[in-house]
């Protein structure tokens, strides 16, 4: 199962719509979609290391635009869409806990959670709901998302061949670890 998906993404990296597809996934992940764009970013950079920074830039810009949508949902549509998304991910209690954290450590929360497997959409929704300073939110989200995606791109550009060989040799293990990290991010968020 993982091999077929991995091979598909590698083939898709050369498709004329590859960057658009990555942009859609990255945009959606920052506001409502559960799968992080890294699932596409990593194989795409491995397949096109010459375009590593272009791929990271598309992923970053789309993620920031999606974060703005998440902020808008939290700010303008909390009673309808925002609450529904939080309930969908069973994070109602976390929103209450985040309120106190945002008052003291809002910038640190945005920066740290943007780098981790903890779902960024909760940060974007919470930032809007708590009316966090919007220009500062955009700056912090840009720093953390660009840092994450460009670091991945730089490492894969520099060490791509051995990394690709390692991934292809241990694809099932890596895919399971990725899924565990993804589920662990949701679980950690539910626990904290």
Selection from 143, 146, 121, 25 nearest residue 68 by Cα: 121
Q: Any alpha helices (H) in 13-133, and if so which ranges? A: 18-29, 38-47, 52-76, 83-88, 92-115, 120-129
Q: What pLDDT score does 42 carry?
A: 86
Report the C-alpha gap between 59 and 150 in whole angstroms. Answer: 9
Q: What pLDDT score does 6 carry?
A: 61
Phi, psi of 185 (to 5 degrees): -60, -45
Report the C-alpha gap between 41 and 93 in whole angstroms. Answer: 32
- The structural domain count of the chain equals 1
Structural domain boundaries enclosing 106: 2-191
- pLDDT tens-place values along the chain, 192 residues long: 556 666 666 677 777 888 998 999 899 988 877 777 887 888 889 888 999 999 999 999 999 999 999 999 989 988 888 788 778 777 777 777 777 788 888 899 899 888 876 778 888 988 998 899 999 999 999 999 999 999 989 989 988 777 767 666 666 666 666 667 666 665 655 555
Total-model pTM: 0.77
């Amino acid at each position: 199962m993982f091999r077929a998906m991995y091979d598909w993404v590698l083939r898709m990296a050369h498709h004329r719509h590859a960057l658009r597809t990555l942009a859609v996934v990255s945009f959606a992940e920052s506001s409502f979609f559960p799968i992080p764009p890294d699932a596409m970013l990593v194989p795409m950079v491995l397949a096109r290391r010459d375009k590593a920074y272009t791929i990271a830039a598309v992923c970053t810009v789309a993620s920031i635009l999606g974060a703005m949508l998440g902020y808008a949902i939290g700010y303008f549509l909390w009673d309808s869409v925002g609450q529904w998304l939080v309930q969908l991910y069973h994070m109602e209690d976390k929103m209450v806990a985040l309120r106190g954290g945002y008052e003291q450590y809002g910038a640190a929360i945005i920066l740290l959670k943007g780098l981790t497997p903890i779902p960024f959409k909760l940060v974007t929704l919470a930032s809007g709901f708590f009316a966090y300073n919007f220009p500062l939110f955009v700056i912090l989200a840009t720093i953390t998302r660009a840092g994450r995606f460009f670091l991945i791109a730089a490492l894969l550009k520099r060490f791509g061949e051995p990394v690709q060989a390692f991934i292809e040799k241990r694809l099932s293990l890596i895919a399971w670890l990725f899924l565990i990290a993804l589920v662990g991010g949701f679980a950690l968020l539910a626990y904290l």
